[in-house]
Structures are given as C-alpha cells and as structure tokens.
Amino acid sequence: MRLNRILGLSLGVVFAVVLSGCVAQYRNHGYVPSEEALAQVVVGVDTKDTVSDVIGVPGTEGILDSSGWYYVRSQFRHMGAFEPKEVDRQVVAISFDSRGTVSNIERFGLEQGRVVVLSRRVTVANTKGTTFIKQLFGNLGQISADQLLQ
C-alpha cells in the first residue's frame, strides 16, 4: 500500500512537470515608448535632444542621413520544445526634418503577418509627398535618346 502511494505521488509530480513545460512563456525584446510618453513629444517643436530626454535614445537610426529614429519591440511566445514564435511587434518611427525638428511620429504594428499603421502624427507639409505610382512613372518621359546610346 505504501509503495502504491509513493508510485502515485511520483507519477503526479512527473505529470505536473511535463505539463508545466507546455505552458506558454512570453518574452519581450526591445523598447517602444508608451502613448503617454509620445504625447509629450510635439511635432514641429521638439528636437532630437528633447526627444531623447523625454523617451530615451532609439534602438535604431536611419542609415543614410539619420533622419529617423526607430523604437522596436517584439513579443515572442515560447511553448515547450517548439521554436519561439513572434506574436506581436510594434515599431515607433520618429522622423526629423533637415533642422533636426520632429516632423512625423508613426506607430506600426503586426497583424496577421502584415505591417499595419496604428497611429500617425505628421506635419502638414509632409503630407504633400508624391505617391509611389507618381515616383515610378514620373521619370518615364525624362530619358532622351542620346542618354540611352551612351
């Protein structure tokens, strides 16, 4: 009787350990400022220095001309021995004009594997940009024959 009790208790402990390995664990990587912190950044007024004081330095900067700061946070779900899966991603992009003043604040998310704009605050001048189609077809008539022959 005592052996059955020990065996049952051992089996229960093993079963609990096996089940606990199947519980999802979530891990966050990176940093994205909260909406409250972003509300303190004023488009057209704040500069890189004031933004770094309010919400911190970014994880990534624009490569070519440092015109943008990017804050990225990813959340991964770990389930037992399975490969971790990204379940959420948020990107906050803060753009700066040539003077270093904030011109754009955008928040992007990940929905069903697609990047989705969650919120956007822009200056009026920046909304008058050309579309992708205009950029694509805008150069068609600007090539001359002598340029093609050279």
Structural domain spans, the chain: 24-112
pTM to 2 decimal places: 0.60
Q: Where are the beta strands (DSSP E) in 23-134?
A: 25-30, 60-61, 68-78, 85-96, 102-111, 114-122
Q: What is the pLDDT of residues 1-40, one digit of tens each?
A: 677 788 778 777 777 666 666 778 888 888 899 899 999 9
Burial class for 72, CB neighbours closer than 10 Å (0-12, 13-18, 19+) = middle
According to DSSP, residue 140 is labeled G
Tens digits of residue pLDDT in 81-107: 788 888 888 888 888 888 889 998 888
Distance between CA 97 and CA 137 in Å, rounded? 26
What was the pLDDT predicted at 127?
Answer: 42
> What's the average model confidence in pLDDT over 59-79?
79
Euclidean distance between CA atoms 25 and 11, whole angstroms: 24
Report the C-alpha dihedral over residues 123, 54, 68, 61, rounded to 10 degrees: -170
Q: Determine the pLDDT at residue 143.
A: 56
